[in-house]
Copies of this chain bind each other. A is one copy, B any other.
């Protein structure tokens, strides 16, 4: 019997600080019907990403916020159940931004077909999707790494960081990861092939990072902020580049942290060492999608880029998975399996 109800998670209230259970609500609604040009989709994988925390705030950011009562935003891989869109047929697999829910309707024009013979379909939300393209465009356009340079990547075991570091290795750089805990650091070095990885939980973090970067740091791919950034800046070389991709340490902040004020030494470092800090999001480089897909698909085929996924089972566990993201509990690209893959 086909399902008649849609389960979805909406923003119940805007969080102050860490997102708590009461900021979300699991609702049941009817499954919507597609209008002309739309398709009805069944969600298979939902992507949980740090940027979604920003969408829960009312303030302006790089995209409009999720309104209270609306479905939480998120990228998805889905199966087309019914189509009134010329581009799509039942059984097609698509990637879109249909949010934290089991069923959705969406315009065919904003959905992208996935070829399931190329790679596991979940990678359309990871290494072959938004996180992979974020790493690729930010590292190459802003970081501009050159062979022989030292590249430091924070959140090195995460979806974006793991890709950024492996791309820097392909360029010919010395690559040093930063991750939380011994297991992640071992993975980053042994599985991903980084030259070194430093545990930011270590009491000796700044000293260990310095020891891992004997030639200083030319590119710092910034995913976290906070004391990690503070430890990297003194190691930056002249004309170093800092693509600012994420700041997960600050997404739950409710006010300014106590002093001292670190802005003067940061600005003096930018001036004296002629550093470039530049923020970006993946859509700033949308026109580079074809190069990204070509290069990344080839690197995956050749085994030069590896990835790891951390899959939470069931929409009802999405909130706990998302909360764990801010405590570094995920190990690899965090996904929710909302429903089975076709034929499985």
Contacts and interface: CB of A to CB of B under 8 A. Distances in A.
Contact of A264 (B250, B267, B278, B280): B250
23 contacts: A225-B264, A230-B263, A244-B270, A244-B271, A247-B267, A249-B264, A250-B264, A256-B259, A256-B260, A257-B259, A257-B261, A261-B263, A262-B262, A262-B263, A263-B263, A271-B279, A272-B279, A274-B279, A274-B284, A275-B278, A275-B279, A276-B277, A277-B278
Contact count band on A: 35 or more
A226 B265 CA distance: 11
A64 to B, nearest CB: 13
Interface in A267-302: 267-268, 270-281, 284
A270 B62 CA distance: 11
Contact of A260 (B230, B261, B266): B261
B62 A274 contact: yes
Interface string A184-227: 00000000000000000000000000000000000000100110
A59 to B, nearest CB: 9
Interface of A: 54, 60-62, 222, 225-226, 229-230, 244-247, 249-250, 253, 255-268, 270-281, 284
Q: Which of A60, A260, A264 has the most CB of B within 10 A?
A: A264
Contacts of A272: 54, 60-62, 279
Contacts of A244: 267, 270-271
Contact of A270 (B249, B253, B257, B277): B277
A274 B267 contact: no
A238 B273 CA distance: 25
Nearest to A241: B278
A258 B257 contact: no
A229 B226 CA distance: 20
Contacts of A54: 272
Contacts of A258: 259-261
A278 B236 CA distance: 13
Contacts of A222: 267
A42 to B, nearest CB: 34
Given A274-B278, A281-B274, A263 B260 contact: no
A264 B274 contact: no
Nearest to A250: B264
8 shortest A-B CB distances, which residue pairs? A259-B259, A256-B260, A271-B279, A270-B279, A262-B263, A276-B278, A277-B277, A274-B279
